[in-house]
Structure 1
Amino acid sequence: MTTWITICDTCKLEGWEATGATETDGERLATLVEAAAQVPLRTRRVSCLMGCSHGCNVAIQADGKLAYTLGRFTPDADAAEAITAYAALHSASETGVVPYRQWPEGVKGHFVTRHPPLPDE
């Protein structure tokens, strides 16, 4: 079962406008996460996860598993490594639950929401 990392590519951290950057913070994080992700992980970009006060935002999802939204990342290699490391643990989990003691340090404090899997009809 494939675990997806969905990255908001429109996220802008506070003060972004003053930097003169041509890429949003979300685009920068997306590029780094895409480079760090390895099979069986998949990535995709979306424009707006509606977590603007928590930017930079990502969602970790797979069919039949708990899904998580994480935010408040800086667009750097350490964040990308932590995100992909957590997503790999999510992928290896039957339910999407990863015990806290296994969480990469870089995702602690970044969880925003948890969503139960959709029911089978």
Structure 2
Amino acid sequence: MTSWITICDTCKTPDWDETTDSRPHGQDMADLIEAAAMGREGVKTRRVSCLMGCSHGCNVAVQGAGKLAYTLGKFDPAPEAAEAIVEYAALHAQSTNGQVPYKQWPQGVKDHFITRHPPLPDAAEE
């Protein structure tokens, strides 16, 4: 199955400064995640403007049909963070319900989880 990484391209980390930064850190993070996910089986990316996690900076959501979804944040836009996010999304894609055992989490995503959402009910449950 496919897991999507939804990347907030308007995020700014607390050290963002309009006099020195030419664009939001979220755009830098999106570029890095897209590059890391290129050709990665089971992982797709998309950008959105605002995930409403402004106090957490560089937010992403990892989602898949019928699976638990997660919001992660508090990242610095760095290649290592992007790689860890993509690796976690790949594990999410391989799981049956979206739950990845803690011992399998890449080090770079630990302490970055903000929220977890249950999957939406399917039409039979409505």
Deviation per CA, 1:24-51, whole angstroms, max 9, x where unpaired? 1000000000000122210000000000
Q: Deviations over 1:63-90 (max 9, x none)?
A: 0000000000000001001000100000
Hey, what does 1:77 align to over in structure 2? 79
| Identical-pair percentage | 65
Task: Say yes or no: does 1:93 pair with 2:89.
Answer: no
After the TM superposition, which residues 28-107 of structure 1 pair with which residues of structure 2 at under 5 Å, given as runs? 28-37=28-37, 38-107=40-109
Deviation string for 1:6-40 (max 9, x for gaps)? 00000011131256121210000000000001222
- CA RMSD in angstroms comes to 1.0
Residue 12 of structure 2 is matched in structure 1 by 12
How many residue pairs get aligned? The number is 121
TM-score by length of 2: 0.93
Structure 1 runs (4+) greater than 2 angstroms displaced: none
| Gaps in structure 1 of 5+ consecutive residues | none
Which is further off, 107-116 or 19-28?
19-28
SS of residue paired to 1:53: coil
TM-score of the superposition, structure 1-length normalised?
0.96
* Aligned-partner Cα distance in 2 for 1:104–1:61: 17
Read off the aligned partner of 2:13 and give its amino acid letter.
L
Hey, what's the Cα distance between the residues in 2 that align with 1:19 and 1:76? 21
Q: Distance in 1 between matches of 2:94 and 2:27?
A: 27
